[in-house]
Structure 1
Amino acid sequence: MAEKEFDRIIGARLREARIAAGYESAQSAADARPKVHVQSVRDQEAGRRGVNPEQLLLYSKKYAVSVQWLLTGEGPMTSIEGIVDDVTLKRLTPEKRREVADFARFVAERK
């Protein structure tokens, strides 16, 4: 797959994730914490600019989606890591983590 084609595919997933997260515009997403430049959001969603690993992680947390889904389009779109901070997750039992993940999926499906 050519690099530009890959950037366009990732960009489409970023846009889908942004909208699913409740950000109607690139501007509203850019303004939310952690802040990013609005032009970066626009360029990356349009496939004009690639996304590095650090940015993928940032978007994953910002939009509460999995990095795997952003990269491949496979697996569940939602990720509890974007909703609950890492310290809180580490304190939970595996059963409680599953409950939080189920709740995160339920909330994401209602948007």
Structure 2
Amino acid sequence: MELPKDRLKQVRAAAGYESPTDAANAFPRDINKNTLISHENGNRPISRKAAEKYGELFGAKAGWILFGDGPGEDTGAALSDVTLSRVGMTVGRVAGIVEAGAFREVDEFDQSEPIEIMLPRDEKFPNARQLVFDCAGDSMNDLRPRPIFPGDRLVCLAYEDIGHIELRSGMVVIVQRSRDGGHFREWSVKQIEVFPDRAEFHPRSTNPKHKPIIVERDDEADEGVTVEVIALVRRVMNDLPGF
């Protein structure tokens, strides 16, 4: 079965560049050699934006690189939302790492390019943004019926896009805790339990160090820490090594 990495190699070679190094030397401002090598090896997924850039430089359609959609050689036209919808796919943004107890500084001036990957469109919420989080730590390794392990990738829906959905006990969510005026934040995955006067966000872990986050109806935790649900977990992915 031909994969996006294989089609990328084909269009690069068809454009006259024998190796990723040759292509990177020809377009030093547009191509990072190591990134191109990772894309061609399949070690890094080819995002929509990357496919469009390669298509523009190598004279191919982004849709063909990603899906084999249409002829390989063309004007480098961008992959359209119509094409994505027709094949039942959408773009998901890799938001970052979820890890209980790890507050990370928020860099408001971070200009790094977000990573985008292709995902199946959510049938129940087709217009909601899909966010992807990489799981670290053991705070959900005892979740039932399916544990969440370090290295798992969580496919989620942005909660502000489905805010009309009431949070219910048993849902698995991404919780954001922020402190110091929002300069530090923690993203963690928890299972929610809803009570009339409070919401409890529980780790499901064999490790006793992980404790639940309890939020009274004023939505403010102690010591100036703000807690909010930012995403609803819909799927768990974990690619097997060696492929």
TM-score by length of 2: 0.29
Counterpart contact for 2:4–2:65, Cα < 8 Å: yes
Aligned to 1:16: 10
Provide the C-alpha distance between the structure 2 equivalents of 1:16 and 1:44, rounded to a whole number of angstroms.
Answer: 13
Q: Distance in 2 between matches of 1:77 and 1:49?
A: 21
CA contact (8 A) 2:60 2:74 kept: yes
Q: In the TM superposition, what are the counterparts of 1:74-93 in structure 2 within 5 Å? A: 74-81=69-76
Kindly indicate whether the alpha-carbon contact (under 8 Å) linking 2:46 and 2:66 is maintained by their aligned counterparts in 1: no
Name which of 35, 56, 64 aligns with 2:59: 64
Which of these two proteins has the greater Rg computed from alpha carbons?
A: 2
TM-score normalised by structure 1 residue count: 0.61
- Tell me if structure 1 keeps the 8 A contact 2:11–2:58: yes
The structure in which a higher percent of residues are strand is 2
Displacement, 1:81? 3.7
Give the aligned length.
Answer: 76
Task: Say which structure is richer in helix.
Answer: 1
CA RMSD of aligned residues (A): 2.0
Paired letter, 1:32: A
1:25 is aligned to 2:19: yes
**By how many angstroms is 1:77 displaced?**
0.7
Runs of 5+ in structure 1 lacking a partner?
83-111
Structure 2 gap ranges (5+): 78-243
Asked which structure has the greater RCO (Cα within 8 Å, sep 6+), the reply is 1
Structure 1 residue runs of 4+, over 3 Å off?
none
